[in-house]
A and B are shown apart, each in its own frame.
Chain A
Amino acid sequence: MKRKSIAVVGAAETTELGLIPDLSQIQLHADAALNAMADAGLKPADIDGLATTPEWTPVLANYLGITPSWVDGTMVGGCSFMLHVRHAAAAINEGLCNTVLITHGESGRSRVGVGGFVGNRASLEGQFEAPYGITGPTNVFTIPVLRYMKTYGVSEEQLAMVAVVQREWAAKNPRATMKDPITVADVLGSRMIAYPFRLMMCCLVTDGGGALILTSAERAKNFPRKPVYILGTGEGAESWMISQMEDFTTSKAFRVSGKKAFDEAGIAHKDVDHVMIYDAFAHLPLYGLEDLGFCKPGEAAGFIWERNTAPGGKLPVNTNGGGLSYMHSGMYGMYALQESVRQMRGIAPAQVRGAKISVCHGVGGMFGASGTIIFSNEAQ
C-alpha cells in the first residue's frame, strides 16, 4: 500500500461502554456506526464499502440501510478489524469503493441478541484440545506463558506489573471500566483463574462497540475531522490450535504482521510515539513488544517493570487502560484502533503530547492471527 494514501475520517465507539443490557449486539454495531457517520458528516447512503464482525456483513448492511459494492466479513478473532482496515485500504486504492465503514459491536457481558457457541467435535481442536477441559481464552491463550517465563527468567511479579501499569493509564480515562490504583501484591493476591494467571491479569468482559470510516487521503481533506493517515499495514496467521503454535516464547503471526507494517511504513522503532498492543491477558504486551521489535527477546518484562510503557515513560503503551482495565467485549481490536485514532487526533484522555506515529497491534483467535496498523497524523 502507498503510504498515507488512505485516511480515517470517522471514528467512534458506542455511546455507552461497559454494561449495556438494553441494547442487542446488532444495535451496538449500529450505535457505533451512527456515531462514526456523525463524526465524519456522512449518511448511510454515502457508504459504499462495509466490513464487520461478529455480525454478518449482509445483515448489518440491511440494518443500517447501506448498499455496499465492496463487502468484507473477515473473521480471525479480535484483530479482525485491523485486517478490515488493511483490506479496505487496498480496496479503496484499487478503486473498488470510496468510503468504507468498519464496525464492531459485542454484547460480551450482557449477551443480548447473541448466538450460542457450538463446538465442532470433528474439528481438529474439537478432537485434540477440547477433551482436555479447556473452557475458553482464560485457559488456552495463557498456556504458552510458563514456557516464556522459564526461557527468559520472567517472574510472576513482572507479569503482574503489566496490569499495574495499565491501570495507571486507565485512571486517566473517565470511560475506563476499572480506574482504582492496584499494586503487584493486589494482582498476585487476586483470585486464581488459570495458574499463573490471576483475575487481574485477565481482561474484562464488557459490552460495547466501535466503528471507523476510511477514504482516500485526497478526499479526506474535505471531511470535518483532522484525517489520520495509514502509514503501514500488516497481517498474519499461524495456528488456531494453541498446541500447534511453533514456539511458545514468540508469535509467528505477530512477527509476520509487524514486519510487513514496519516495512510498508518505512519507519524505525525510534520514530514511534505511541503503541497499542491487544492485551486480552497480561502476557500479550510482552510478546507484542518483542515480536514487533521494540524489545529484544526476553527483555519486555524488564522494560515494563522499569516503567518505560507507563505514564511518563518513553514508549507509552495501551494508553486507554487496555483490555485489562478499559474494556474488552470479546473482540477488543476495534478499541485499540479507536485509541490510536484518538491519540493521532490529539483528543485522547491520556494524550501523549506531540505524538505523530502510533502502532496498533492486534491478536485474534488466541495466538492464531494478527493484524498491525501504523497511523500518522501528518499528511506529508
Chain B
Amino acid sequence: MPEAKRPLPKPTPETRHFWEGTAASELRLQRCDQCRHVYFPPRPFCPKCGSRKVSVFKASGRAKLYSYVINHRPMPPFTAPYSIAVVELAEGPRMMSNIVGCAQTPEALQLDMALEVVFEKQTDEITLPFFKPAGA
C-alpha cells in the first residue's frame, strides 16, 4: 500500500505568488491599493471594495491563536492528536494552519498566544506555512 501523503495544494494563477512566497520563506499577503484593506486567501481584487488594483507584500509572520481543535481521529500521515488551528495574522487576515513546536494539548495551546510562522518544504513546488509559539 502506498504511504499516505498530506494532501498538498495545487496552485492556481491567482495563488501562485503565495506559494512562490512560502518557497522563499516569505508569507505574502495582498493589500488593496485603493482602500488599503489587507486580505487572504489570494485573489486579484479587493473583496472589500472590488478594486482590481492590489499589491502583494511580505507579511511579518507574526500571529496569534484565534481558535482550534485537537483532532483525535486517524488521518495518515498525521499523528493524532494534532491541532488544526485558525491563526490571526498581525496584519489582520486569518488562515488555517497547524501549531507546531509545542505539546498538542489544551494546556499548551492557549487562545491568543503569540505565534510566528515557520516554513516546511513538502515538494519542490510546495512549502507549507505552519505556526509555532513565538520565541520557541
Q: Which of A14-22, A38-46, A119-127, A259-267 contacts B (4 or more CB under 8 A)?
A: A119-127
Assess whether A146 is in contact with B97, with CB atoms less than 8 Å apart. Answer: no
- Tell me the nearest residue of chain B to A130, going by C-beta: B7
B15 touches A133 (CB 8 A): no
Knowing A138-B73, A143-B67, A194-B71 are in contact, say whether A126-B84 is a contact too (CB < 8 A).
no
Is B8's CB under 8 angstroms from A195's CB?
no
Give B77's nearest chain A residue, CB to CB.
Answer: A133
| Chain B residues, Cβ within 8 Å of A127 | 9-12, 15, 19, 41
Mask for B41-57, Cβ within 8 A of A = 1, else 0? Answer: 10000000000000000
Chain B contact residues (Cβ within 8 angstroms of A): what range? Answer: 35 or more
Nearest chain B CB to A145 CB, angstrom units? 7
Query: In the assembly, what is the distance between CA of A195 and CA of B15, in Å?
Result: 31
B residues within 8 A CB of A242? Answer: 86, 96
Within 8 A of B (CB), among A118-173: 119, 121-122, 124, 126-135, 138-140, 142-147, 150
Among A236-259, those with CB < 8 Å from B are 241-244, 248
Instruction: Assess A139 versus B84: contact at CB under 8 Å? Given A130-B7, A145-B67, A146-B68.
Output: yes
Partner of A194, one of B40, B66, B70, B94: B70
From B10, B81, B94, B97, A195 is in contact (CB under 8 Å) with B81
Q: Is B69 an interface residue (CB 8 A)?
A: yes
Contact of B12 among A122, A142, A147 (CB under 8 A): A122
The docked-state distance in angstroms from the alpha carbon of A121 to that of B6 is: 11
B48, chain A: closest CB distance, angstroms? 12
For residue A193, CB closer than 8 A to chain B, the reply is yes
Q: How many A-B residue pairs have CB under 8 A?
A: 109
Per the bound structure, the CA–CA distance linking A147 and B75 in Å amounts to 24
The A-contacting residues of B in range 16-36, CB under 8 angstroms, are: 19
Verify B41–A146 contact, CB threshold 8 A: no
A121's contact among B9, B40, B41, B68, by CB below 8 Å, is which? B9
Are B7 and A119 in contact, with the CB atoms below 8 A? yes
Complex formed: what's the CA distance from A135 to B78 in Å?
Answer: 11
> Which residues of chain A have C-beta atoms less than 8 A from B66's C-beta?
147, 248
CA distance A213 to B122 in the complex (A): 52
Contacting residues, chain A, for B8 (C-beta < 8 A) = 121, 131
A122 partner residues in chain B, CB cutoff 8 A: 9-12
Contact of A114 with B by CB under 8 A: no
Contact A195 B106 (CB under 8 A): yes
Bound complex: CA of A150 vs CA of B19, how far in Å? 33
Which residues from chain A contact B86 at a C-beta distance below 8 Å? 143, 242-243, 248
Interface residue A197 (Cβ < 8 Å from any Cβ of B): yes
| Chain B CB within 8 A of A192 CB | yes
Say whether A143 contacts B68, CB under 8 Å. yes
Question: Which residues of chain A are near B97, meaning CB under 8 Å?
Answer: 132
| Contact between B69 and A142, CB atoms less than 8 A apart | yes
The answer to whether B84 and A146 touch across the interface, beta carbons within 8 angstroms, is no
Complex Cα gap A144–B68 (Å): 7
Contacts of A135 in B (CB 8 A): 71, 73, 75
Closest 9 pairs between A and B when the two form their complex, measured CB to CB: A127-B9, A195-B70, A147-B67, A194-B69, A122-B10, A121-B10, A243-B96, A139-B71, A133-B78
Please list 12 pairs of residues, one from A and one from B, whose beta carbons are closer than 8 Å in the complex, sorted by A's number: A119-B7, A124-B15, A128-B41, A133-B82, A135-B73, A139-B73, A143-B68, A143-B86, A193-B72, A193-B73, A194-B71, A194-B73
Chain B residues near A (Cβ < 8 Å): 6-12, 15, 19, 40-41, 66-73, 75, 78, 81-82, 84-86, 94-98, 106, 111, 122, 128
Known: A131-B8, A143-B68; 19 extra A-B contacts, CB below 8 A, are A119-B7, A124-B41, A127-B9, A127-B10, A131-B128, A132-B85, A132-B98, A133-B6, A133-B98, A135-B75, A140-B84, A194-B73, A195-B69, A195-B72, A196-B69, A241-B96, A243-B94, A243-B95, A248-B67
